[in-house]
């Protein structure tokens, strides 16, 4: 239940003059998603603690699929599940499209304390992958600039290292899942713990490019690289990505 209108009305009754008009109530998607920004930061810019990620500007299809995953128990966080459980597919898409439409600047990245060799390994995994171990490059799916690919693949830059570590760990242990074939679960299990440490240190320290928008298409495959099949939730009828 949204208590905001009741609190505003109570404040007006207690403090306002008898002949004053009641405060205006803004029935907009921005007002109705204040519950999201309580954790994900103002306008979905991310929380300061590094645990709740940025959702502003992420591809709408990706945000929509994550809301479905929380609702349908492929991702596990009780507060998110309770929030989205009573909402329809169409309304979840409306929320996703709203946050995706927000074009806001990113904060400066935090410098990494990792050594040069760790960062070199992280860059290699992110940009080139490891063909000998059949580990694809992050850029193969997440775009040449690692800002994501519309409509369903998120960017990896602008995210804290702790959050990146937590998500890769969740895929390795089955705490985070997606529709089969679950490509990220397969990739995460191929990465050794030291590889995860290297790639998350490098990603979290990278500056954002001038154009932070998701790319329109994925990169062409590098020589020797293999295409990856990823499952996704179907979009509701009558909506657009």
Q: What pLDDT digit, counting tens, does each position of 38-77 carry?
A: 999 999 999 877 789 999 999 999 999 999 999 999 999 9
Q: Same topology for domains 29-104 and 109-232, yes or no?
A: yes
CA angle 118, 122, 126 (to 5 degrees): 175
The first and second tokens of residue 216, run together, are: 């329109």
Taking 70 as the threshold, does the pLDDT of residue 147 lie above it?
yes
Better-predicted residue by pLDDT, 225 or 212 = 212
Question: How far, CA to CA in Å, does 67 sit from each of 31, 108, 233?
Answer: 19, 27, 10
- Each residue's pLDDT tens digit, 186-197: 999 999 999 999
- Structural class in CATH, domain 29-104: mainly alpha
Mean pLDDT calculated for residue range 221-228: 83
Which long-range CB contacts under 8 A does 206-210 form with residues at least 24 apart?
A: 206/109, 206/146, 206/157, 207/108, 207/109, 208/106, 208/109, 208/147, 208/157, 208/158, 209/145, 209/147, 209/157
**Rounded to whole angstroms, how far apart are CA atoms 212 and 92?**
24
Q: Which CATH number fits domain 109-232: 1.10.760.10, 1.20.120.350, 1.10.287.1260, 1.10.101.10?
A: 1.10.760.10
Taking 80 as the threshold, does the pLDDT of residue 5 lie above it?
no
- Each residue's pLDDT tens digit, 22-39: 656 678 999 999 999 999
The number of CA neighbours under 13 Å toward the Cβ of 76 is 8
Listed range (17-26, 54-63, 82-91) with the worst mean pLDDT: 17-26
Domain boundaries, the chain: 29-104, 109-232
The mean pLDDT of the chain is 87
Mean pLDDT calculated for residue range 167-192: 93
Burial 140-177 (b: 16+ CB within 10 A, else e): bbbbebbbbbbbbbbbbbbbbbebbbbbbebbbeeebb
Listed range (2-11, 21-30, 111-120, 157-166) with the worst mean pLDDT: 2-11
Task: Identify the pLDDT of residue 222.
Answer: 82
The first and second tokens of residue 202, run together, are: 């490098």
DSSP 174-221: TSB--SSS-HHHHHHHHS-HHHHHHHHHHHHTPPPPS--SPBSSPPPP
**In sequence order, which residues have a C-beta less than 8 Å from that of residue 43 and are 6 or more positions away?**
37, 56, 102, 104
Residue that is written with structure tokens 């921005």 in the block: 30
């Amino acid at each position: 239940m949204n208590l905001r209108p009741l609190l505003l009305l109570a404040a007006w009754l207690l403090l306002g003059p008898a002949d004053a008009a009641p405060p205006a109530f803004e029935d907009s998607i921005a007002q109705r998603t204040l519950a999201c920004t309580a954790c994900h930061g103002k306008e979905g810019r991310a929380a300061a603690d590094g645990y709740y990620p940025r959702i502003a500007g992420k591809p709408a299809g990706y945000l929509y699929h994550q809301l479905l995953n929380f609702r349908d128990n492929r991702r596990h966080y009780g507060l998110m599940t309770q929030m989205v459980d009573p909402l329809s597919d169409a309304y979840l898409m409306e929320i996703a499209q709203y946050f995706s439409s927000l074009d806001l600047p990113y904060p400066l990245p935090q410098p990494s304390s990792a050594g040069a060799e760790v960062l070199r390994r992280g860059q290699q995994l992110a940009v080139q992958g490891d063909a000998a171990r059949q580990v694809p490059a992050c850029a193969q799916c997440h775009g040449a600039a690692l800002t994501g690919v519309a409509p369903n693949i998120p960017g990896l830059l602008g995210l804290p290292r702790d959050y990146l570590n937590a998500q890769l760990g969740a895929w390795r242990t089955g705490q985070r899942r997606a529709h089969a074939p679950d490509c990220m679960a397969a990739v995460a299990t191929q990465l050794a713990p030291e590889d995860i440490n290297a790639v998350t240190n490098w990603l979290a320290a990278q500056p954002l490019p001038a154009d932070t928008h998701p790319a329109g298409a994925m990169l062409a495959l590098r020589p020797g690289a293999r295409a990856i099949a990823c499952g996704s939730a179907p979009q509701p009828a009558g909506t657009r990505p």
